[in-house]
A and B are shown apart, each in its own frame.
Chain A
Amino acid sequence: MSGVRAPVDGDAVLGLSPRVALEPASLDEAADAMRALARDRAAVTFVGGGTDLELGAPPARLDAVLHTRRLDRVREHAPADQIVAVEAGMTVAALQRHLAPHGQRLALDPPHPERATVGGVVAANAFGPRRTRFGTVRDLVIGVTIVRADGVVARGGGKVVKNVAGFDLPRLLCGSLGSLGLLAEVVFRLHPLPEASATVAVPGLAPAEVRALARAALDARLDPVAMAALQEGDRFRLAIRFEGFGPGVHEQAERLLALDARGERIEGADEAALWARHDALRLAGDVRAKAAFPPAALEGAVRALEPVVATLAAGALVLHPALGIAFVAGTLSRAEATGRAIAAARPALRPGNGSLVLAAAPAALRAVADPWGDPPPAVEVMRRLKRELDPDGRLAPGRLAGGI
């Protein structure tokens, strides 16, 4: 079998080193690799660009790492149908470069697009600011090809956007962290590249003002593609982005400026720089957490998260007020204190099924804080699902919430 090699340092997953690394270059090779792993009863973790490898818990067992990086081709792009079928190991940036000449894009802007792979994005449910308008990968994936733990190749969904034939495997796999099967190919619906873009940034806002302005923009029936508030000292700068045709973008930006006189309209390179700053702030340091809550609970969430931020060196918050998401990022200095602050924040976030999940954490913090928090309410069904598709518990065992 080709694509099998001895492991190197870079193959480690959250401190665990595999005894073998596999790099299949085709669906057939991936299926061969999975059958071989099944025969060997080997525990395996799938790795794309490795940008979300720290999300969740370390695998309980790790014999092999399977890299998808050689599965990096566009299988089919039908511009007129606005769909693309792509192998899982292609990076988001490479895919966007393929699509751009056709005036199209995958309307998803996760961090590190040069490294993040489409399969990894699906597995980790990765997203960026445009989630405000386009949703998560769950709203964009229309088909998958997986290789199951037993080496069987199975497909779900299809190549048309509207399709309700059979159970929805593509969406079920979103966020499954490679614990139900190897994502080998993904089919996405595409969106047109916008003709124009503009961002209005409003500095000096308290959390309540962030929520109020975000709400006012939506109440005014504006249709932003992104809304994010970046922490600056004890205040926030709220950035609201519009994309579309020139007249629509212009009018919406002007109407937003009319809602708040402190706003500043930003375009071109400055606009790109502002959103790059969003990504940098969200990814700063070695501790990253994502809080989720009903959007109207924004101030409460900020109050619950501030003690966590305070325990970190150079800690900061990034708020997505329309989504009910806040990112905490910073550098660990006192693991015990951060662990206690996380434990204290979780109950405050729980109403409305809110959560606080560690997306990255050094071992010292993992020793004192569970990356997921309490098991989800339907954890028994989740365990049964895992057993159905991976009866021997070999696919990224223990990575998911509830020890799945």
Chain B
Amino acid sequence: MTARSAAGEAARREGVGARSLARQLAGIVGPRNVVVDPAELLVYECDGLTHGRVCPELVVLPGSTEEVAAVVRVARDANVPLVPRGAGTGLSGGARPVPGCAVVSLSRMRRILALDLENGWARVEPGVINLDVTRAVAGDGFYYAPDPSSQSVCSIGGNVAENSGGAHCLKYGFTTNHVLAARVVLSDGAVVDLGGPAPDAPGYDLLAALVGSEGMLGVVTEVTVRLLRKPETTRTFFATFPSTDEAGAAVSGIIAAGILPAAIEMMDRLAIVAAKAATGLDWPDVGAALLMDADGPRAEVEHVSARAIEIARAAGALEVRVPRDEAERQLMWKGRKSAFAAVGRISPSYLVEDGVIPRSEIARVLRDIARLADEAGLRVANVFHAGDGNLHPLVLYDARVPGEEERAARLGGEILRLCIRYGGSITGEHGVGAEKAAYMAEQFGPDDLDTMQRVRCAFDGAALMNPGKVFPTPRLCGEKPGPYRPHPAEVAGLAERW
């Protein structure tokens, strides 16, 4: 029996029915903030990854750290697993419920608690929308750097859980590079503060473990994020190429020239077609396109941008467009950022994959993906963060055609395996979640996973928090693979030496 169903079973065995649990939780958060109605629960059956739905026992919406702590204690006593949830935009099923669980939605906790521009930070509740942090400080010339494509709807708490990236993390890093502190409720109900506005807090860097832990270490109730000054100058260009080979060569050339773009994004033919259909942009019908941002002090940016355009032309660019103004620049970025949804215009259904490969292998991997797609009889559109080799293959299919969804899922899996074979990763920013847990055993060995599990056990010995995610095989804490037993010859050999 797996750990998650063990917890759910135990809940049922002990007779802690949903009604009694709901009553207790309503006593903490108020009856309006506990959802038990089956119709209302439908919303919580999945996150941004819409297949593999599971209905939770109930949903609780706490309004403060204290309420979260009280909710966690009740759940712990009842042995009910908890699934924390932000805005529900995740693409790996990280907020997918497990049978018998309570979903803890942080959507009521959406206050910006404090802004300190002198020290460059904002303290926010986890339900605050990513872009709202930037909106709150933009007037003062500051911004919050991590910018996932969903930034207008995704929450900071979800970003912390998934260690979200975005187009600009090549230069600016991921969520983990921008979180200074967090308040966390652990599965025993303890509230702990990790980090702080001051750097270098003594002790282990537990924040490093927390960010990207996909809700498995605790429920985050406050986050202090770094605010950056908006760069003085941003220069953008859009370049088209006959194929992804030339576009890939341009990316390699730009990086080799010692340029660190703020972002450099690639789209293939199918993705360009989709973006055009969705936005009405007058992009030409070409094999590939690059969109690059350079930002920083004026003279540096002008120099870098001009040099990058030269390199793109030398690599075989058909056309280079420089936006006339900020509005045109935003439109170009809208084309890129809406590419996922845009694919819906050219295909009834699609899967979004998220894999990482060494940047220098882009052209080869894209050819391999095309071959796999041909074999599967499906189309794949590619939109990706070329600077850091983070691919987002969009597998197009028609769910109404029997067997096509399964074929698409298999193709998605083959693409992930391809990423592992090239020395990359099964996820660059969407997280492992429920969806890719099985592939973890292909990227990591049992000892690697065991070590990560031990980290989980240090935070959540009860395995109450978001069970069934990340790890291919659940493990109970305290269940160690056994003490070390040395080889007899080794003992003999060493005994002589020591």
Which chain A residue has the least Cβ–Cβ distance from B196? A353
The stretch from A32-40, A65-73, A201-209 touching chain B is A32-40
Q: Does A219 contact B (CB under 8 A)?
A: yes
Quick one: given A172-B209, A352-B198, are A378 and B490 in contact (CB under 8 Å)? no
- Residues of chain A from 111 to 166 with CB closer than 8 A to chain B in the complex: 125, 135, 138-139, 146, 148, 150-156, 158-166
Q: How far is the CA of A380 from the CA of B191 in the complex (A)?
A: 11
CB neighbours (8 Å) of B498 from chain A are: 4, 20, 36, 40
B174 & A401 in contact (Cβ 8 Å cutoff): no
A109 to chain B minimum Cβ distance, whole angstroms, is: 17
A388 & B208 in contact (Cβ 8 Å cutoff): no
Q: Does B144 contact A (CB under 8 A)?
A: no
Q: How far is the CA of A317 from the CA of B49 in the complex (A)?
A: 54
A400 & B204 in contact (Cβ 8 Å cutoff): yes
Quick one: given A148-B451, A160-B356, A164-B429, are A245 and B176 in contact (CB under 8 Å)? no
B458 to chain A minimum Cβ distance, whole angstroms, is: 4
The digit string for B186-203, where 1 denotes a CB below 8 A from any CB of A, is: 100010111111111111
The stretch from B103-111, B383-391, B394-402 touching chain A is B383-391
Q: Does B300 contact A (CB under 8 A)?
A: yes
CB contact between B356 and one of A162, A246, A323 (< 8 Å): that residue = A162
A381 & B229 in contact (Cβ 8 Å cutoff): no
B486 & A39 in contact (Cβ 8 Å cutoff): yes
Q: How far is the CA of A32 from the CA of B449 in the complex (A)?
A: 21
CB contact between B470 and one of A166, A352, A353 (< 8 Å): that residue = A166
CB neighbours (8 Å) of A375 from chain B are: 203
Which chain B residue has the least Cβ–Cβ distance from A5? B497
Q: How far is the CA of A297 from the CA of B252 in the complex (A)?
A: 43
Q: Does B244 contact A (CB under 8 A)?
A: no
Count of chain A residues with Cβ under 8 Å from any Cβ of B?
104
A180 to chain B minimum Cβ distance, whole angstroms, is: 8
A162 & B428 in contact (Cβ 8 Å cutoff): yes
Which chain B residue has the least Cβ–Cβ distance from A246? B303
Which chain A residue has the least Cβ–Cβ distance from B92? A164
CB contact between B212 and one of A167, A349, A389 (< 8 Å): that residue = A167
CB neighbours (8 Å) of B199 from chain A are: 292, 323-325
B119 & A352 in contact (Cβ 8 Å cutoff): yes
Q: How far is the CA of A164 from the CA of B169 in the complex (A)?
A: 13
CB neighbours (8 Å) of B440 from chain A are: 165-166
The stretch from A77-85, A93-101, A272-280, A303-311 touching chain B is A77-85
Q: How far is the CA of A194 from the CA of B431 in the complex (A)?
A: 34
CB neighbours (8 Å) of A362 from chain B are: none
The digit string for B434-467, where 1 denotes a CB below 8 A from any CB of A, is: 0010001001110111111011111101000000
Q: How far is the CA of A160 from the CA of B422 in the complex (A)?
A: 10
The stretch from B80-88, B254-262, B285-293, B320-328 touching chain A is B254-262
Taking A154-B447, A166-B452, A168-B209 as known contacts, 16 extra A-B pairs with beta carbons closer than 8 A to each other, sorted by chain A number, are A4-B498, A80-B256, A154-B448, A160-B358, A162-B428, A164-B212, A171-B205, A221-B230, A222-B297, A248-B299, A295-B118, A296-B118, A354-B196, A375-B203, A376-B202, A404-B203
16 A/B residue pairs, CB under 8 Å, sorted by A: A151-B484, A160-B357, A160-B423, A160-B428, A166-B443, A172-B455, A174-B208, A249-B300, A294-B116, A294-B197, A295-B120, A325-B200, A378-B193, A378-B206, A382-B204, A389-B454
B residues lining the A interface (CB < 8 Å): 116, 118-120, 141, 162-163, 165, 169-170, 173-174, 176-177, 181, 186, 190, 192-206, 208-209, 211-213, 229-232, 252, 255-256, 258-260, 296-304, 307, 356-360, 385, 388-390, 423-432, 436, 440, 443-445, 447-452, 454-459, 461, 470, 483-484, 486, 490-491, 493-494, 497-498
